């Protein structure tokens, strides 16, 4: 299969390297020094055991048009970067092309193909002007929940920290032939892929912790363990999660796990800096809109009060502004 990774950063690069190793024709969309190293030497995947695999059988470019049409397009950019790239994506499509959305937070397609009174609602926090939906037709979309952790340690070198799970789901829950083929490809590459008939439930379970721990860590510079072990921030996270749980219940979401177990799971991760804290420290834009702002928006939509979420969201957005992060 021809696979294009749009956003060959830490997660996108990890996926691209693993897929190329099992024979997929992989094109990586990257830029800057990272792109240059991949073009000259290939992509290095540094594994948890210290072993390094150099993957050279990939194409790397900054020009989406040069990539040509694909069987699968994996959009591995952070949510805030997708609108600026979306108008270029149709150059990658043929009739059967699938688009895998691999963003954190509430996705732009959340209400599409869903039996809901909000079926026509567009989530402003992630697709204010409808640019994303206009350029990624909903019939192409495969939802994806990303669990691995990885980082770019130097241009062209990606360190895989932990995890290998990528849940996939059609938006209407169908177990189609195309999603089965995609799951088989992922699994063959060691990207453990289960097909979910309720992909939104799984999105919420991951988001449930992220919407609290990520912004609190960005504001306090604390690790997950520190947030969970300090009574005041643990209670703050708990209150944010309770607000989110009330919203999700109105949307028919089943978490399948208790709030305390979700917090305990975050605490077990230990002295880990969340991705949002890492973005703040690197003066990069955060995923606050998709992870926190979108949940606050759904609170307003469902008439669910979200005072804790609103306060933390406002604080993170002000932090970005004071740090002059654009």
Radius of gyration for the chain, computed over Cα atoms and rounded to the nearest angstrom: 19
Which stretches does DSSP call E strand in 41-87?
A: 43-46, 52-55, 58-61, 72-75
Cβ 250 vs Cβ 304: under 8 Å: yes
Tokens of 322: 């004071």
Tokens of 251: 């949307």
Q: Which of 18, 175, 181, 206 is flagged as catalytic?
A: 206
Written in H, E and C, the secondary structure of 272-289 is CCCHHHHHHHCCCCCCHH
DSSP bridge pairs for 100: 74, 142
Category of 106 on φ-ψ map: left (φ > 0), alpha (ψ -120 to 50) or beta: beta
Q: Which residue has the tokens 């003066």?
A: 283
Asked if 317 is an active-site residue, the reply is no
The sheet carrying 149-154 orders its strands as 52-55, 43-46, 157-162, 149-154
Tokens of 70: 């694909």
Cβ 288 vs Cβ 312: under 8 Å: no
Instruction: Indicate the angle between helix axes 307-322 and 231-250, nearest 10 degrees.
Output: 110
Cβ 216 vs Cβ 236: under 8 Å: yes
Q: Is the dihedral of CA 225, 168, 104, 303 positive or negative?
A: negative
Q: What are phi and psi of 322, to 5 degrees?
A: -70, -30
* Catalytic residue annotation: 206
């Amino acid at each position: 299969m021809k696979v294009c990774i749009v956003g060959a950063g830490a997660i996108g690069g990890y996926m691209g390297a693993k897929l190329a190793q099992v024979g997929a024709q992989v094109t990586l969309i990257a830029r800057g020094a990272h792109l240059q190293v991949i073009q000259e030497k290939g992509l290095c995947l540094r594994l948890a055991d210290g072993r390094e695999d150099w993957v050279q059988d990939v194409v790397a470019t900054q020009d989406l048009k040069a990539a040509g049409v694909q069987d699968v397009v994996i959009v591995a950019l952070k949510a805030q970067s997708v609108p600026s790239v979306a108008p270029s994506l149709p150059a990658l499509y043929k009739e059967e092309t699938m688009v895998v959305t691999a963003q954190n937070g509430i996705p732009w397609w959340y209400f599409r193909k869903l039996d809901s009174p909000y079926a026509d609602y567009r989530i402003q926090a992630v697709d204010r002007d409808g640019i994303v939906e206009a350029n990624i037709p909903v019939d192409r979309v495969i939802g994806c929940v990303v669990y691995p952790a990885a980082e770019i340690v130097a241009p062209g070198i990606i360190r895989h920290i932990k995890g290998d799970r990528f849940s996939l789901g059609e938006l209407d829950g169908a177990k189609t032939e195309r999603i089965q083929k995609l799951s088989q490809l992922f699994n063959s590459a060691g990207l453990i892929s289960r097909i979910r008939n309720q992909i939104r439930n799984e999105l919420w379970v991951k988001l449930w912790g992220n919407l609290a721990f990520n912004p609190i860590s960005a504001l306090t510079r604390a690790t997950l363990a520190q947030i969970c072990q300090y009574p005041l921030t643990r209670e703050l996270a708990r209150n944010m999660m309770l607000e989110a749980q009330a919203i999700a219940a109105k949307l028919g979401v089943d978490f399948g796990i208790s709030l305390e177990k979700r917090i305990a799971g975050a605490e077990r991760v230990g002295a880990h800096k969340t991705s949002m804290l890492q973005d703040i420290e690197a003066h990069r834009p955060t995923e606050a809109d998709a992870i926190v702002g979108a949940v606050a928006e759904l609170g307003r939509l469902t008439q669910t009060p979200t005072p804790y979420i609103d306060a933390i969201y406002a604080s993170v957005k002000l932090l970005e502004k004071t740090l002059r992060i654009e």
